[in-house]
Amino acid sequence: MNKTFSVGDICQVRIEKLIYGGNGLARVNERVVFVPNAAPEDLVEIRITEIERNFLRAEIVEIVEPSPTRRKPPCQYAEKCGGCQLQQIDYKTQLAVKADFIRDALSRIAHINWPSPIEVKHSQEFGYRSRAQFKIDRNSSPLQIGFYKADSHEVCDVDSCPILTPNLNNALQTLRSNQEEIATSKIPYSKIEVASGDNSATTKPYLSPFSDRVISQNVGKVRYKYSAGCFFQVNSLLLETLVETVLSGRSGNIAVDLYAGVGLFALHLAGRYKQVLATEVDQEAASWAVENIKSNRLQNIEFSSLSAERWLSQFTHPKRRAKIKINPELVVLDPPRAGASKKVLDSLVEIAPKEIVYVSCEPPTLARDLNHLINNGYRLETITGIDLFPQSYHIETVATLKSSSIF
């Protein structure tokens, strides 16, 4: 029987599963309800907090019958801080849930019923994060420094965070003990980027208590340098695993690296391919990539600071493609969360690499882009999760596609 619900109504539901975003999914009187801080199979009493046309939102009032996968969150701030969504379930279940996130996106968006288990590679679940953006409430005294509370721009003051590396927790303590520079600065700090490498940490904007402005990080035999404001993968413990998954024994003549950042993949590809062509539109990251190529003494990388769209257009534009040709065996792309543009995907189809390795931190946009490539002559060969973000709902995915013409 259908029921009209009101905000504040109390009811009891069984959590069916977790969905991408971290909420539990349940049903009450045939209506879908989303419940944060839930675990699969929880029996919970909930209070309706929001009513939409096709679904409800609710909060847990009481855990009537806890799931066997439920645990007490290890972090003292878990119920306030919005940084983590999955601390209430054990890590083995987190990995299984994230495999389901990938599988669901493939099925729902790309219409791919992946027949095999999806491996999620992982390392330790805490002490992994080497980059963070600390939020600052300048209207408090002492300053509140930490992360936003869930669904809020109110700062949750954090003394230490269990997912941060020791270097980054030390950096947090340095910020907390040097508040005067932040409080009296003419720069209106509301957030500070902090990143750590092998031995040190630094910030953007730069603050004087930090001795270094440049971060150094070894990944296998390659050494990278970059600044706190540059994108670099957050999980220092899985960088080699990520690179190895992308390379996966590949080698050849020409490889292309789109959205190349500071050169994480391009520099490793240079050891496997005779020529590597790479591009990154962010000027700060591109300048560090050039520096990293030089400092690692690599002679076979041609690096550009164009957008992926513009860089690819030199090979696909009708007036240029007759003069400039490219025949890569491999294209690696690691676009931002929004995924690759249709223009990039169409260009990839036109230059027709034998193989595409797509690295994504957003399963829904990955599935959307895979659907486009599959509908234009590619076949999905492998799909692998890498848990760069334990305790959160985020999951890195590496998808390999091959041109159907080579089968």
Domain ranges in the chain are 10-65, 131-217, 235-406
Which amino acid is residue 327, in one-letter code? N
Please answer whether residues 18 and 52 qualify as being in contact, where contact means their C-beta atoms are separated by less than 8 angstroms.
Answer: no
| Cα 56 to Cα 231: distance, rounded to the nearest angstrom | 36
401 strand-pairing partners: 356, 380
Closest CA to 215 of 194, 197, 237, 192: 197
**Residue 318 predicted with pLDDT over 70:** no
Residue 248, SS3 per DSSP: coil
* Mean confidence (pLDDT) of the chain: 93
- Residue 391 — left, alpha, or beta (φ > 0 → left; ψ -120 to 50 → alpha)? left
Closest CA to 97 of 127, 120, 116: 120
Please name the residues in contact with 323: beta carbons below 8 A apart, sequence gap of 6 or more.
none
Does CATH number 3.40.50.150 belong to domain 235-406? yes
pLDDT of residue 185: 73
Give me the pLDDT at residue 182, please.
81
pLDDT at 316: 83
Q: Is 10-65's fold the same as 235-406's?
A: no
Helix (H, G, I), strand (E, B) or coil at 331: strand
CB-based contact 70:77 (threshold 8 Å): no
Q: What is the identity of the amino acid at 98?
A: K
What whole-number distance in Å separates Cα of residue 236 and Cα of residue 317?
Answer: 40
As beta bridge partners, residue 55 has: 32
Considering only 21-35, 88-102, 181-195, which range has the smallest mean pLDDT?
181-195
Residue 35 has pLDDT above 60, yes or no: yes
Whether residue 108 is predicted with pLDDT greater than 70 in this model: the reply is yes
Residue 209's pLDDT band, with cuts at 50, 70 and 90, is confident
pLDDT for 206: 87
Residue 68 has pLDDT above 60, yes or no: yes
Residue listed under structure tokens 């391009």 = 266
CATH architecture, range 10-65:
Beta Barrel (2.40)
- Which of 320 and 175 is assigned the larger pLDDT? 175
Q: What is the DSSP letter of 143?
A: P
Measured from the Cβ of residue 70, the count of other Cβ atoms closer than 10 Å reads 19
Is the peptide bond between 115 and the residue preceding it cis, with omega within 30 degrees of 0? Answer: no
Task: Report residue 142 as tokens.
Answer: 């002492």
Predicted local distance difference test score (pLDDT) of residue 2: 56
**Rounded Cα–Cα distance for residues 45 and 297 (Å):** 61
How confident is the model over 9-27, as a mean pLDDT?
97
Which two structure tokens, joined as six digits, stand for 211?
């001795």
CA distance 202 to 159: 18
For the 131-217 domain, the top CATH level (class) is mainly beta
Binning pLDDT at 50, 70 and 90, where does residue 388 land? very high
350/252 Cα distance (integer angstroms): 20
Reported as a pLDDT band with limits 50, 70 and 90, residue 187 is low
What whole-number distance in Å separates Cα of residue 373 and Cα of residue 404? Answer: 11
- Paired residues of 59 in beta bridges: 47
Q: Which of 44-48, 213-217, 254-258, 269-273 has the lowest average pLDDT?
A: 213-217
Can you give the pLDDT at residue 1? 46
Region of poorest pLDDT, from 194-198, 293-297, 301-305: 194-198
Q: Which residue is it, tokens 């950042």?
A: 261
> Mean pLDDT throughout 193-206?
90
Tell me: the pLDDT tens digits for 244-294? 999 999 999 999 999 999 999 999 999 999 999 999 999 999 999 999 999
CA atoms within 13 A on the CB side of 240: 9
SS3 53: coil
